[in-house]
Amino acid sequence: MWQSRLIAVSGFILAASLSAPAFGANPARPGSINYVEGQVSIAGQALDAQAIGSAELRPGQTLDTQIGKAEILLTPGAFLRLGDNSSVTMISPSLTDTELRLDKGRASVEVAELHEQNNLIIVEHGDTERLLKTGLYDFDADRNLLRVYEGKAVVRHLNRDVEVKGGHQRAHYNLSNAYRFAGKYDLWLEEWEKAARLNNDSEDVALVKAVRSTPRQGTVAP
In this prediction, residue 37 carries a pLDDT of: 93
Question: Do 74 and 160 fall within a single domain?
Answer: yes
Give the residue from 155, 117, 120 showing the smallest Cα distance to 134.
Answer: 120
Total tally of structural domains belonging to the chain: 2
Question: Do 151 and 87 fall within a single domain?
Answer: yes
Tally Cβ neighbours within 10 Å of residue 18.
7
Question: Do 188 and 169 fall within a single domain?
Answer: no
Taking only the tens place, the pLDDT of each residue in 47-102 is 999 999 999 999 999 999 999 999 999 999 999 999 999 999 999 999 999 999 99
**128 contacts 121 by C-beta, under 8 angstroms:** yes
Question: Do 52 and 88 fall within a single domain?
Answer: yes
Does residue 14 have a pLDDT over 90? no
Question: Do 113 and 186 fall within a single domain?
Answer: no
Residue 137 pLDDT class (50, 70, 90 cuts):
very high
In this prediction, residue 20 carries a pLDDT of: 33
Question: Do 111 and 132 fall within a single domain?
Answer: yes
Largest CA distance in the chain: 59
In this prediction, residue 19 carries a pLDDT of: 32
**157 contacts 143 by C-beta, under 8 angstroms:** no
Q: List the CATH number of the domain containing 29.
A: 2.60.120.1440
**88 contacts 72 by C-beta, under 8 angstroms:** yes
Question: Do 140 and 172 fall within a single domain?
Answer: yes
Residue 173 pLDDT class (50, 70, 90 cuts):
low
- Mean pLDDT (the chain, rounded): 78
Residue 67, C-beta contacts closer than 8 angstroms, at least 6 positions apart = 38, 39, 84, 85
Question: Do 112 and 193 fall within a single domain?
Answer: no
What residue spans of the chain are helical by DSSP H?
2-19, 184-198, 202-212
**181 contacts 167 by C-beta, under 8 angstroms:** yes
Question: Do 51 and 98 fall within a single domain?
Answer: yes
Does residue 17 have a pLDDT over 80? no
Range of the domain at 155: 2-181
In this prediction, residue 202 carries a pLDDT of: 77
The pTM assigned to this predicted structure is: 0.70
Measure the CA–CA gap between 116 and 93, rounded to whole angstroms: 17
Determine phi and psi for 122, rounding to 5 degrees. -115, 135
Residue 16, C-beta contacts closer than 8 angstroms, at least 6 positions apart = 25, 53
Question: Do 93 and 116 fall within a single domain?
Answer: yes
Question: Do 53 and 155 fall within a single domain?
Answer: yes
Q: Rounded mean pLDDT of 113-127?
A: 93
DSSP secondary structure code for residue 24 in this structure: G
